[in-house]
Amino acid sequence: MFESAELGPKVTKRRYAAELPELRSALLKAHLSLKGTSTPLIIIISGADGAGKGELIHRFNEWFDPRGVDTQAFWQSSDEERDRPRYWKFWRALPERGRIGIFFGSWYTEPVIRRVHHKITARRLDLELDRIAFFEQMLANDGALIIKFWLHLSRKKQLARLKDLESNPRSHWRVLPNDWEHFELYEDFMEAAERSIRRTDAGHAPWHILEASDKRHRDLAAGRILLEALEKKLREPRITGTELAVHAHASGPARRGSPDQATILSGVDLTQKLDSREYKLQLSKCQSLLSRLAWAAWEKKVPIVAVFEGWDAAGKGSGIRRVTEALDPRLYRIVPVAAPTDEERRHHYLWRFWKHIPRKGITTLFDRSWYGRVLVERVEGFAREDEWRRAYLEINDFEDQLAQSGMVLSKFWIHISKDEQLRRFKLREKIAFKQHKITDEDWRNRKNWNGYQVAVNDMVARTSTKYSPWTIVAGNDKKFARIQILKALCDHIKAAL
């Protein structure tokens, strides 16, 4: 694979000086055109030690408008990062739409290094690379432009470059102790790099292998690749918000469902109840157990995420309160999810949820969640059909990463009957301190009841997994629902501990 990158191409100073001004001007123009679009540009810089990765990043920062560029370096993990799933730090660093993110080190770095040092098998590396490929496909589907550079040096040229850098008083600091360690493992690095490139090279996220022994050739070649990709992306037709809405609503009738259509919710026994005496006894018992389990999870550094979804007025808030009553305030936080902010709209829809993933030992309760993509956004037409359909796989991958990191993930859909919802709506309108809970949106959503039933059925069928099962809560009786939630949450934590 790397043979073609060892031919030793060179660019003279004169040619470099002649071609650079036009290239820089065109790149800057393309960058300014990128601003205001729905496209983030992600540039990954990888390659051999001594190949000039840092130098190339300096060039890009010099050529682009610095106000629209974010440079991220991934080399040492902080305590905050080690306390969360590995991709958390990458999600936080993703550029907004219309901005450029330059990654020095990336999601490729750790798997490759671990393979070189024989800490993972080739099979495990392939699994990591498959996840990377899925991740990049997901970003590209959301509009991201991804360009990946591998700066290559032959073993002989890498040795000469490291010696040259080390002998120069002005550059010796750039040669780190592990650079020589990596040099001794050159063949292993090349093998792992080749495997990674072959498995993740795709039209939506291509790899570009550049011979890096001549700096001027390296920089001009990289600049031309960026320019061509940017100009091609900018030529693509832009879809306006109106066009998206028309496309999303085009298949609206198919999403409404039939009043008598059987779904997973049809089998829920909503007649289940608890009397006040039994409720108080079970509440005390369950909350006491949950308190002990939460402290045990803190001691063992097991994070917990609980997701609460359900019909409007189903009792999500009261269910969450019965959970938090059992927890020390230092051990939990609640994340209420509403319509995305302007900042959140400038990112992939999962970005705002990755932000809130808890540290080890902490419990986070989501009052609504990432499932809005396949619920309200699907039914109300805020997401195109291709967007919400692929979201099932994206959500499953997201939750799989949480589970693999050791997290307890509990998901609750609180189900009530349509008549019970109407009763609660009318009650909220009568009670002064509950009137803020009922809005025109609640009444509008109620008209789409059948569509939501179909969406919930698909959601549970496609995303209830062994590592993150759905619990369908019988919510007509609030006391019964609260105990069902507490018991299920305790069972999930006990299983993990």
- Name the 3-class secondary structure at 360: coil
CA distance 81 to 59: 29
Reference 395, options 415, 414, 411, 379; nearest CA is 411
Strand 41-47 vs strand 207-211: parallel, antiparallel, or unpaired?
unpaired
Q: Where are the alpha helices (DSSP H) in 38-184?
A: 53-63, 79-82, 88-93, 109-116, 122-141, 155-167, 177-184
- Name the 3-class secondary structure at 409: strand
Out of 3.30.1600.10, 3.40.50.300, 3.40.50.1820, 3.30.420.40, which CATH number does the structure's domain 3-238 have? 3.40.50.300
Evaluate whether the domain defined by 268-496 bears CATH number 3.40.50.300: yes
Q: Which residues contact 397 (CB under 8 A, 6 or more apart)?
A: 131, 134, 135, 138
- Other residues' Cβ atoms within 10 Å of the Cβ of residue 359: 15
Residue extent(s) of CATH 3.40.50.300 domains in the chain: 3-238, 268-496
Per-residue pLDDT of the chain (497 residues; tens, 9 = 90+): 666 666 778 999 999 999 999 999 999 999 999 998 999 999 999 999 888 999 999 999 999 999 999 999 998 889 999 999 999 999 999 999 999 999 999 999 999 999 999 999 999 999 999 999 999 999 999 999 999 999 999 989 888 888 888 888 877 777 777 778 888 899 999 999 999 999 999 999 999 999 999 999 999 999 999 999 999 999 988 654 434 444 444 444 334 566 567 889 999 999 999 999 999 999 999 999 999 999 999 999 999 999 999 999 999 999 999 999 999 999 999 999 999 999 999 999 999 999 999 999 999 999 999 999 999 999 999 999 999 999 999 999 999 999 999 999 999 999 999 999 999 999 888 887 777 878 888 888 889 999 999 999 999 999 999 989 999 999 999 999 999 999 999 999 999 99
Reference 306, options 289, 291, 323, 322; nearest CA is 323
73, 15 in Cβ contact below 8 A? no
38-47 residues labelled b (16+ CB within 10 A) or e (exposed):
ebbbbbbbbb
Q: What is the pTM of this model?
A: 0.90
Reference 272, options 485, 488, 484, 480; nearest CA is 480
Q: Tokens 């205001």 appear where?
A: 36
CA distance 357 to 372: 17
